[in-house]
Amino acid sequence: MNQTEKAQAFRDLHRRQEAFVIPNPWDIGTARLLELLGFAALATTSAGHAYSIGKPDGTCTRQEVLDHLQALAGSVSLPVSADLGKGFGDSPRSVEESVTLAAATGIVGCSIEDASGRADDPIYDFPLAVERVAAAVAAARRLPFPFTLTARAENFLCGRRDLDDTIRRLQAYQQAGADVLYAPGLRNREEIAAVVQSVDRPVNVLATPAMNLSVSELSQLGVRRISVGSALSRAALGAFLRAANEIQHGTFAFAADAPSHTHLNELFARSAPASAQKQP
C-alpha cells in the first residue's frame, strides 16, 4: 500500500463497531514482528524509542524522532501513527511544523498532547492547548491524504485526576477538528464510559493491568482504539534486567524461557520485506 492507501485503511479501522488494538513497537524488528502477528496498524511510543537509544522519555530531539519514524514506517506495510509528544515546542506554530515534517516520513497519523513537560505547570492552559490542537489539525488538513490527528488530554498522567476538565478539553479538541480523542490514565469503566459518551469522535484508551478490562469489554463501552503505550518495551526491558541480574548472581536459568535462535530466525525471515528475501 502507498501512503494514501495506508491512511484510508487507518481511517476505516476507526469506523468499525468493535475496538481494534494498535500495539506500540519501538524499532524495526518489533514492528515487523507485530505485523507478522496480524495487527492491522501500529503506533510508535516516545518512551520505547527513547529507551532504545539510551535516553529518558521526552529527551529525544525532533530530528531523532523523525529519523525513527521514517525507518519504522518504511519497514512495514501497515499504517503507522506517531507519538509526537507535545509537538517539540510550546507554540502552535512548532506543533504545526512538527506534524508537517512527521507526515513526510511515511506515517499516516499522530498524536499531540497538552502536557507541557514542566513540573511546575504540567498542563497547558486551556486556550493555548486548544490553539495547539487547531494548529495540528490545520497541518493535517493540508496533506494530500486523510491524515488522522489524535488529541490527547494528559491530566490523569500528570497527577490531575480531574475528569470534568479532561472532558472539557476533549470536547474542545473535537471542536478544533481532532479526528480521535485520547485521555491516557483513565482508571475504570465509569471514567471511560463518561469520556466516550461526552464526545462524537473515536476514543483511544490506554490499556493497563489496573484497568482490568478486555478488548471486548472496552468495545462494549464504545471505545474504538486501544493502545498499550510503552508497556511492550518495558516488558522487554524488564525481562532483560531480570536476566542480567540473574547473571550477576551467577546463574543462567533465564535462557530457558527465551525463544530459540532458530525460532527467531524463522520469524524474522518471514517478516522481512519480499525484496530482502530475494537477496542471495
pLDDT of residue 150: 98
Q: How many whole angstroms separate alpha carbon 115 and alpha carbon 130? A: 12
Residues paired with 151 in a beta bridge? 112, 181
pLDDT of residue 278 exceeding 90, the answer is no
Three-class secondary structure of residue 232 per DSSP? helix
At 178-214, the pLDDT tens digits run 999 999 999 999 999 999 999 999 999 999 999 999 9
The pTM of the full predicted model, rounded to 2 decimals, is: 0.95
Buried b / exposed e along 6-41 (16+ C-beta atoms within 10 A): bbeebbebbeeeebbebbbbbbeebbbbbbeeebeb
Amino acid at 115: A
Q: 225-227 and 20-22: which strand pairing?
A: parallel
Q: Are 182 and 229 in contact (CB under 8 A)?
A: no
Which position has the grid cell 508497556? 231
Residue 168 exposed, middle or buried by CB count within 10 Å (0-12, 13-18, 19+): middle
Three-class secondary structure of residue 199 per DSSP? coil
pLDDT of residue 273 exceeding 80, the answer is no
pLDDT of residue 277 exceeding 50, the answer is no
Residues paired with 81 in a beta bridge? 43, 109
pLDDT of residue 274: 52
pLDDT of residue 272: 77
Please, what is the average pLDDT of the chain? 96
Cell of 25: 513497537
pLDDT of residue 276 exceeding 60, the answer is no
Beta strands in the chain (DSSP E): 20-22, 42-43, 80-83, 109-113, 148-152, 180-182, 203-206, 225-227
| Contacts of 39 by beta carbon, 8 Å cutoff, 6+ apart | 21, 22, 23, 78
**Which superfamily, per CATH, for 3-230?**
Phosphoenolpyruvate-binding domains (3.20.20.60)
> CA torsion, points 68, 55, 243, 212, in degrees to nearest 10?
-80
pLDDT of residue 108: 98
Among 44, 65, 35, 62, which Cα is nearest to 53's?
Answer: 65
The residue that leads in pLDDT, 107 or 273, is 107
Q: How many whole angstroms separate alpha carbon 42 and alpha carbon 33? A: 11
